[in-house]
Amino acid sequence: MSKIGLGSVQFGIDYGINSGAKVESNEVIKIINCARNNNIRLLDTAKLYGSSEQVLGDVKTQDFDIVTKTRGFDQETITEKVASSVILDLHQSLKLLKQKSLYGLLVHHGEDLLKPGGEMIFKQLQILKEQGLVNKIGVSAYIDNQLIKIIERFDIDIIQFPMNILDRRLIDNGLLNKIYSKGIEIHTRSVFLQGLLLMDLDKRPKYFERWSSLWKFWYEWLADNKLSPLEASIRYMISKPEISRVLVGVDNKDQLQNIINAVDGNLPSIPEELSTNDPDLLNPGNWKVL
């Protein structure tokens, strides 16, 4: 189960299209114990995930590999003073997480690296790596031109981006293989498209009817192959050899156990019709304007 990583945004803030509610601390403990008992070793968090770092520290996760992320930088130009906040923030994260060092530290918004002076942010990450406070450094990015620019300009160890069974843009354009060939560790998020792929047809918000033909094909294909949405979604991502970690977010222990149970099993070839390049669907940030 080492390829599964546990995302923790729901531990710190309300998040997601399904329940959307922040997870209570007693349920977090159950989730963490379930992860531990199933050899899930990596936890993903961030400074921007509300109280997530503190919650993880309080429930004793010192035996896990933890990846966290920097703050977002609102400035159009990055100065040395602004960039220095990376080191201060990391020390605060270590304190909250009750860790001496972390597995990874990522720039939360990839576009921050590409701003004037953005290289100073990366320099701070390199300093922390040299000091042994983080093992690997990298970036969280979206699938657009910034991804190409980042891997060309910066010597990163880890890159995190969204990918799921409907979103195969990086496979089709060859970029997934290019990133992998550089020896960069790939972590994927949004495997369930914030839960949209797992929703019952009658519970999906009406503004997603714009893609009704895609949903129709999705459910027919699942039925024909005797697969649940969960089984198809997680098996597809796990099957990709280029991907090191598939990050999943859950609201309770049973959801995590269901994901774990769904990993093993048959996965037929994925038809071309079961994909889209439409950023209005693939980027949840666009949903609020649909």
User: pLDDT tens, 7-53?
Assistant: 999 898 765 544 557 899 899 999 999 999 999 999 999 998 889 99
**What is the radius of gyration, based on Cα positions, of the chain?**
19
Total number of domains in the chain = 1
Round to whole Å and give the CA distance between 121 and 279: 28
Q: Which residue has the tokens 């693939």?
A: 282
- Residue 18 has a pLDDT of 47
User: pLDDT tens, 55-96?
Assistant: 999 999 999 999 999 999 999 999 999 999 999 999 999 999
DSSP code, position 167: B
SS3 192: coil
| Contact predicate 274/166, CB 8 Å | yes
In which band, very low, low, confident or very high, does the pLDDT at 183 lie, cut at 50, 70 and 90? very high
| pLDDT score of 97 more than 70 | yes
Q: Which domain holds residue 57?
A: 4-289
Residue type, position 246, single letter: V
- Mean pLDDT, residues 95-115 taken together: 96
Contacts of 223 (CB under 8 A, 6+ apart): none
- The full 3-state SS of 41-66, as one line of letters, equals CEEECCCCCCCHHHHHHHCCCCCCEE
| pLDDT score of 205 more than 70 | yes
Q: What is the CATH number of the domain that holds 76?
A: 3.20.20.100
| Contact predicate 182/158, CB 8 Å | no
- In percent, the amount of the chain with pLDDT more than 90 equals 82
First to last CA, the chain: 37
Both tokens of residue 115? 């701003």
SS3 187: strand
Q: How many CB atoms lie within 10 A of CB 269?
A: 5
- Within 13 Å and on the Cβ side, how many CA atoms surround 145? 1
Alpha helices by DSSP H, the chain:
9-12, 25-37, 52-58, 80-83, 85-97, 110-113, 118-130, 145-153, 169-172, 175-181, 212-224, 229-238, 253-262, 279-282
Round to whole Å and give the CA distance between 191 and 233: 7
| pLDDT score of 290 more than 70 | no
Average pLDDT, rounded, for the chain? 92
- Within 13 Å and on the Cβ side, how many CA atoms surround 49? 27
